[in-house]
């Protein structure tokens, strides 16, 4: 699909905002183009739980009459349906919340509105951003999963229904679906983006993240969410020092994807990057079980209301696997897992301060699996969720089924701006 003025739905958020600012495009025309794309493709993709064309167009028309309120004025965004909106339902992917209409916007939604963005609608999430899937399909092949839990956000951005969407990540729920759908996914440093109004699975792990089709869009969104000046990504001052991190999940990664990652690493080295091995020490061999203990222990308490009052309306995978596992986890094991995560964070702080600008690693275990009854494996992401580091997945090619593969870049905590720089350097040399 050509990215042109006649197809504004294909523009990046940055390009669309520039066109709106220059008077070459209206928010209304952009939103109308997105809505037409949704009308055409939604019967196949099923990315949305709520999208009311009149509600979206009314916002766009009002913004077209208003002075610019931010760097993405007039640009629409999709909102994962575990994130509250005062004027749309918030159903959490659960039958328990079919009639839920929160009194307030989540902070991240309110910040977008205050910056002049259009809330286009709510996107499909797995049940409570956990494992029980929604109806979304992969835009590249509807017989395959789009990944999860931010399924609709990844699919909607990939399918040109919306240039930006919010996801959330506890294990791999932003990076994995973005990689599966062939778009950019970004999980900020833990704690940077407000989670007020987001249904939390794990206070220790959950981050609000986002999907986009252009790297330039990430610092603009970040400026909206943090209330800081929007700064375009500067050129990296030098070729980056890249730590190639094969460890922990490497045996689980599909051979064609292993080959792609190795190829990317040697290509980047050939283009001037310093690439060396960054395997995690043996002290972190149990980091994946630790992540799982933190996630399930906290989920079993965080979903106390649903677990006790609406038990029969939970999926069996959530009730009998995840929450049951969290109920069985001892407090001692939970605390030990938290402390191992903190040691990992400290280790990575050192590694990314002294030796590397970025870690290069897998975004998932391979291409999106066939079927939409499961959303894939999060083990390549869970380790970084526990560490709280910022992560970006960039589209990096396709696998043997012709479906998307990404590369995941992991930056130093609170150095998201530097991660953008390095990602830009790498992106320019991935092709």
Which residues in this chain contact a copy of itself in the complex, by CB under 8 A?
86, 97, 99-100, 102-111, 113-114, 191, 194-197, 199-200, 203-204, 225-228, 298, 300-309, 327, 330-331, 335, 338-339, 414
- The nearer residue to a copy of itself, 103 or 312, going by C-beta atoms, is 103
Angle at 35 between CA 29 and CA 37, to 5 degrees: 105
- The nearer residue to a copy of itself, 190 or 257, going by C-beta atoms, is 190
Q: Which two tokens stand for residue 188?
A: 């900020």
How far apart are CB 49 and a copy of itself at their closest, in Å? 16
How far apart are CB 224 and a copy of itself at their closest, in Å? 10
Is residue 173 part of the annotated active site? The answer reads yes
DSSP label of 6: T
- List the catalytic residue out of 27, 94, 149, 315: 149
- The nearer residue to a copy of itself, 377 or 416, going by C-beta atoms, is 416
DSSP for 142-207?
A: TTB---SSSHHHHHHHHTTS-SEEEEEESSSTTHHHHHHHTSEEEEPSTTSS--TTB--S-TTT-E
DSSP for 105-148?
A: --HHHHHHHHTT-EEEEEE--SGGGSSS--S--BTTBTTB---S
Q: Which two tokens stand for residue 186?
A: 């970004």
- The nearer residue to a copy of itself, 102 or 366, going by C-beta atoms, is 102
- List the catalytic residue out of 12, 173, 202, 363: 173
- The nearer residue to a copy of itself, 116 or 240, going by C-beta atoms, is 116
Is residue 150 part of the annotated active site? The answer reads no
How far apart are CB 123 and a copy of itself at their closest, in Å? 20
Cβ-count burial of 43 within 10 angstroms (0-12 exposed, 13-18 middle, 19+ buried)?
A: exposed
- List the catalytic residue out of 80, 122, 187, 307: 80
How far apart are CB 369 and a copy of itself at their closest, in Å? 31
How far apart are CB 173 and a copy of itself at their closest, in Å? 17
Q: What are phi and psi of 394, to 5 degrees?
A: -115, 140
Angle at 399 between CA 393 and CA 404, to 5 degrees: 40
Is residue 276 part of the annotated active site? The answer reads no
Q: Which residues are catalytic?
A: 80, 149, 173
């Amino acid at each position: 699909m050509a990215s042109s003025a006649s197809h504004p739905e294909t523009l990046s958020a940055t390009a669309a905002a520039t066109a709106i600012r220059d008077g070459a495009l209206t928010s209304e025309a952009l939103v109308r183009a997105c809505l037409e794309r949704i009308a055409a493709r939604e019967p196949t993709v099923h990315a949305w739980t709520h999208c009311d064309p009149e509600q979206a167009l009314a916002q766009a028309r009002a913004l077209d009459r208003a002075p610019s309120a931010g760097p993405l004025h007039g640009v629409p965004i999709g909102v994962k349906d575990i994130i509250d909106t005062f004027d749309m339902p918030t159903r959490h992917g659960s039958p328990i919340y079919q009639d839920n209409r929160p009194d307030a916007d989540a902070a991240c939604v309110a910040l977008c509105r205050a910056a002049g963005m259009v809330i286009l609608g709510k996107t499909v999430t797995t049940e409570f951003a956990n494992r029980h899937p929604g109806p979304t399909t992969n835009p590249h092949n509807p017989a395959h999963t789009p990944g999860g839990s931010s399924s609709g956000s990844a699919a909607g951005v990939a399918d040109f229904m919306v240039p930006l969407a919010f996801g959330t990540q506890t294990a791999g729920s932003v990076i994995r679906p973005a990689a599966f759908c062939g778009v950019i996914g970004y999980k900020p440093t833990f704690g940077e983006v407000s989670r007020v109004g987001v249904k939390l699975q794990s206070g220790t792990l959950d981050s609000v993240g986002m999907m986009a089709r252009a790297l330039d869009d990430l610092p603009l969104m970040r400026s909206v969410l943090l209330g800081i000046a929007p700064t375009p990504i500067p050129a990296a001052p030098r070729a980056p020092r890249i730590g190639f991190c094969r460890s922990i999940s490497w045996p689980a990664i599909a051979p064609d994807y292993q080959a792609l990652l190795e190829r990317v690493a040697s290509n980047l080295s050939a283009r001037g990057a310093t690439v060396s091995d960054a395997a995690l020490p043996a002290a972190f061999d149990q980091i994946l079980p630790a992540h799982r203990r933190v996630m399930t222990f906290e989920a079993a308490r965080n979903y106390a209301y649903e677990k006790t009052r609406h038990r029969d309306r939970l999926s069996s995978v959530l009730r009998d696997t995840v929450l049951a596992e969290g109920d069985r986890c001892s407090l001692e094991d939970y605390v030990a897992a938290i402390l191992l995560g903190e040691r990992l964070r400290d280790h990575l702080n050192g590694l990314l301060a002294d030796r590397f600008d970025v870690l290069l690693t897998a975004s998932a275990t391979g291409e999106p699996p066939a079927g939409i009854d499961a959303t894939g494996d999060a083990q390549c992401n869970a380790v970084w969720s526990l560490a709280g580091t910022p992560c970006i997945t960039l589209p990096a090619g396709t696998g043997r089924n012709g479906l998307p593969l990404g590369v995941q870049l992991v930056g130093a905590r609170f150095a998201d701006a530097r991660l953008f720089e390095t990602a830009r350097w790498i992106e320019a040399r991935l092709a």
